[in-house]
Amino acid sequence: MTALEVRDLHVAYNRVPALRGVGLRVDEGEIVALIGPNGAGKTTTLSAIFGLVPVQRGSVSFGGRELIGMAPERIVRQGLALVPEGRHIFHSMTVAENLALGLMGRRRNGDRGRGLDEVFEIFPILREYYRSPAARLSGGEQQQLAIARALLSRPRLLLLDEPSLGLAPQLVDMLFAAMARLRERGTTILLVEQNARRTLRFADGSYLLRAGRMEPERLTPEMADDPSIVDAYLGGAGR
């Protein structure tokens, strides 16, 4: 069943086009990726879906409900959560206090302790540092905190913007393993990543953005091992 469908999305900044007819589909339980070079429009696409930038025209349908024109707080209530590039955690607060913000946004009633246990199972380091200031966490641990905080709201769709940016290779491996566990639990994810070839192998499907335009074909994991496909679609971006 389709969770998110974007059609003919157009966005401009100061009359300069940023997105030109972007369209994509994410089915329930999938991890779908947006890949492409810097400045292609990946973050703008997430921002438009989440109501953070004005849309000139197009449609963003989530669970059959149109999101264009909704304020971000209403979009959150529909079941979306965004982990932006840069994490945006509160360094002066403890890990516990940061996670409590996610619990405040919880869409459904339930056992808060169970919700914490679920994120601790995926990100065990957060239990260890639960009472510590978030500023003491490493970059990779802060990224885990940002994702865990979003998960505690029990979103139907998780938007992740460059979660591996700036992380050491070992931490990137850990992050992809965590996303794999989320997929096993049925979490639906729209992922923006610059690590194109690895992401293409990992995601259930990927879309390539270049200069605000989306390639019409949804890429499959098998294409990551086809040199002709990689050269044609990714070129130098296929690292």
Tens digits of residue pLDDT in 138-152:
988 999 999 999 999
Mean pLDDT of 200-220: 94
Give the per-residue pLDDT at 2: 94
- Concatenate the DSSP letters of all residues of 25-67 into one string: EEETT-EEEEE-STTSSHHHHHHHHTTSS--SEEEEEETTEE-
Helix (H) / strand (E) element for 223: namely none
Q: For residue range 98-130, what is the model confidence (pLDDT) as tens digits?
A: 999 988 866 555 556 668 999 999 999 999 999
**Which residues make beta-bridge pairs with 210?**
213
Structure-block tokens of residue 90: 């509160």
pLDDT tens digit string along 159-180?
A: 999 999 888 899 899 899 999 9
Q: What confidence tens digit (pLDDT) does each residue in 19-35 have?
A: 999 999 999 999 999 99
Whole-number pLDDT of residue 233: 65
Which pLDDT score, from 0 to 100, does residue 88 have? 86
Task: Calculate what percentage of the chain has a pLDDT beyond 70.
Answer: 91
- Quote the mean pLDDT of the chain: 91
- The residue whose two tokens read 């074909």 is 217
Structural domains in the chain? 2-79+156-237 (3.40.50.300), 88-155 (no CATH)
Express each pLDDT in 33-43 by its tens digit. Answer: 999 988 999 99
